[in-house]
């Protein structure tokens, strides 16, 4: 009976589709930047003496594009698809789900602007400055609300194992990001970590790994 009912559920594929499209788009962008960086290793003059195109500024742009723009967009898309289908219900708080899409795109665009300008915390894979970190946190908390809210309203009696992994990943990333991003802001474009020396290094690579 429950299987018959599940066929009548109109799932929210709009946000899934948007994240899937941007996964492809940002994947291409990130890899094109990677090709340019690889070429610069052999032909350093390919930075054309333009500060925004130097290796030191484009490398964090490349890694952030591949990890966060490409990889995380794919995780958003698959998570929203899987949680709906396995719970046999539409997403909880659909407007909030759409906010996670537009909010994440704003994070990506902000990274694409600030990193080539040299605005960085100088922490590998966590270079983005504190205003962007706050936006990441808001998007991630919204993501958690949508995901766990959908689990609560599920039509199935059990939780599929895939959703345990997605839930664990959401909680783990939240803890890593918040702890590693604790800073003392000097202004909108510069901040310093609250940790120092070896502690800063250990926290950074606890996050990085």
pTM: 0.92
Residue 130, both tokens: 């504190």
Q: What is the mean pLDDT of residues 186-193?
A: 93
Cα distance between residue 182 and residue 10, in whole Å: 41
Look at residue 179 and tell me whether its pLDDT is greater than 50: yes
The H or E element that residue 193 is part of is strand 190-193
Cβ(165)–Cβ(176) below 8 Å: no
- pLDDT the model gives residue 165: 97
Please report which confidence band the pLDDT of residue 8 belongs to, taking 50, 70 and 90 as the band edges.
confident
Q: What is the pLDDT of residues 51-105, one digit of tens each?
A: 999 999 999 999 999 999 999 999 999 999 999 999 999 999 999 999 999 999 9
- Can you name the residues that pair with 96 across neighbouring β-strands? none
Look at residue 120 and tell me whether its pLDDT is greater than 90: yes
Cα distance between residue 158 and residue 143, in whole Å: 21
Look at residue 1 and tell me whether its pLDDT is greater than 50: no
- pLDDT the model gives residue 7: 59
Residues making up the chain, counted from first to last: 209
Cα distance between residue 188 and residue 200, in whole Å: 22
Residues 6+ apart with CB under 8 A from 75: 169
Q: What is the dihedral of CA 48, 70, 12, 104, to 10 degrees?
A: -60
Q: What is the pLDDT of residues 101-111, one digit of tens each?
A: 999 999 999 99
Q: What is the pLDDT of residues 127-156, one digit of tens each?
A: 999 999 999 999 999 999 999 999 999 999
- pLDDT the model gives residue 4: 41
Coil, strand or helix at 160: coil
Rounded to an integer, what is the distance from CA 85 to the centroid of its chain?
23
CA atoms within 13 A on the CB side of 203: 19
Q: What is the pLDDT of residues 9-64, one digit of tens each?
A: 899 999 999 999 999 999 999 999 999 999 999 999 999 999 999 999 999 999 99
Domains and CATH numbers, the chain: 2-208 (1.20.210.10)
Rounded to an integer, what is the distance from CA 147 to the centroid of its chain?
15
């Amino acid at each position: 009976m429950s299987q018959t009912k599940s066929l009548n559920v109109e799932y929210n594929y709009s946000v899934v589709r948007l994240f899937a499209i941007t996964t492809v788009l940002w994947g291409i962008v990130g890899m094109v930047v990677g090709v340019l960086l690889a070429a610069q290793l052999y032909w350093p003059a390919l930075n054309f003496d333009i500060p925004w195109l130097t290796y030191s500024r484009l490398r964090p742009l490349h890694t952030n594009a591949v990890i966060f723009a490409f990889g995380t967009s794919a995780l958003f898309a698959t998570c929203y698809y899987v949680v709906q289908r396995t719970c046999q219900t539409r997403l909880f708080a659909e407007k909030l789900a759409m906010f996670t899409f537009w909010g994440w795109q704003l994070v990506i665009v902000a990274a694409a602007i600030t990193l080539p300008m040299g605005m960085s915390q100088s922490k590998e894979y966590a270079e983005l400055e504190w205003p962007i970190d706050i936006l990441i946190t808001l998007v991630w908390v919204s993501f958690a609300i949508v995901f766990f809210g959908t689990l609560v309203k599920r039509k199935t009696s059990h939780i599929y194992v895939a959703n345990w992994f997605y839930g664990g990943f959401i909680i783990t990333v939240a803890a890593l990001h918040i702890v590693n991003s604790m800073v003392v802001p000097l202004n909108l474009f510069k901040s310093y970590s609250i940790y120092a020396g070896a502690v800063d290094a250990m926290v950074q690579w606890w996050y990085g790994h």
